[in-house]
């Protein structure tokens, strides 16, 4: 059974579309371009694409904006910041900073799916200054230190 939480939203323009899950097993709801015309993104260029919606993420939750795998794989278009964060107190338009990682100019059609929104609970950590940390087998090894196979 899927956990559900209510997220209120408003449409900010006539081209805005409600976020939609592709099916009952999708973790992310698709976000759509709210432009009434095609958007062109040149190689290595980043364009801020509006979704035409503002949302009320519930307290204790965060909205995470991820790439759509098909758009990233087929067109090289993915969020420039890799993962966008929508805090529960933000009420502005949800926008996606799409970056063109390809070597050719790409386009986003009016109403095209541009990203996906995942709403998840989070916790705040209590950061405690210490003079030492517990020992582990891995220790301070990072950046591939555990191997690649």
pLDDT digits (tens, 9 = 90+) for 102-119: 999 999 999 999 999 999
Mean pLDDT along residues 24-33: 96
Fold (topology level) of 8-121: Deoxyuridine 5'-Triphosphate Nucleotidohydrolase; Chain A (2.70.40)
The predicted model scores a pTM of 0.90
Render 29-91 in DSSP notation, one character per residue: EEEE---SS-EEE-TT-EEEEEEEEEEEPPTTEEEEEE--HHHHHHH-EEETTSSEEE-TT--
% of residues, the chain, pLDDT over 90: 89
Mean pLDDT over the full length of the chain: 95
3-class state of residue 134 by DSSP: coil
Q: In the chain, where are the structural domains located?
A: 8-121
pLDDT digits (tens, 9 = 90+) for 31-46: 999 999 999 999 999 9
In the structure, what pLDDT confidence band is assigned to residue 1 with cuts at 50, 70 and 90?
confident
pLDDT digits (tens, 9 = 90+) for 127-147: 999 999 999 988 888 887 777
């Amino acid at each position: 059974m899927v956990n559900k939480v209510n997220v209120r939203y408003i449409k900010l323009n006539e081209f805005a579309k409600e976020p939609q899950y592709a099916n009952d097993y999708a973790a992310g709801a698709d976000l759509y371009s709210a432009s009434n015309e095609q958007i062109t993104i040149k190689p290595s260029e980043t364009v801020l694409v509006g979704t035409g919606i503002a949302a009320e993420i519930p307290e204790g939750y965060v909205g995470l904006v991820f790439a759509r795998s098909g758009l990233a794989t087929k067109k090289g278009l993915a969020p420039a910041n890799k993962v966008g964060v929508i805090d529960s107190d933000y009420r502005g338009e949800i926008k996606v900073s799409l970056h063109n990682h390809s070597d050719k100019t790409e386009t986003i059609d009016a109403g095209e799916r541009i990203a996906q929104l995942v709403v998840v609970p989070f916790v705040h950590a209590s950061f405690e200054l210490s003079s030492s940390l517990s020992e582990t087998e891995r220790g301070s090894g990072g950046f591939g230190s555990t191997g690649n196979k």
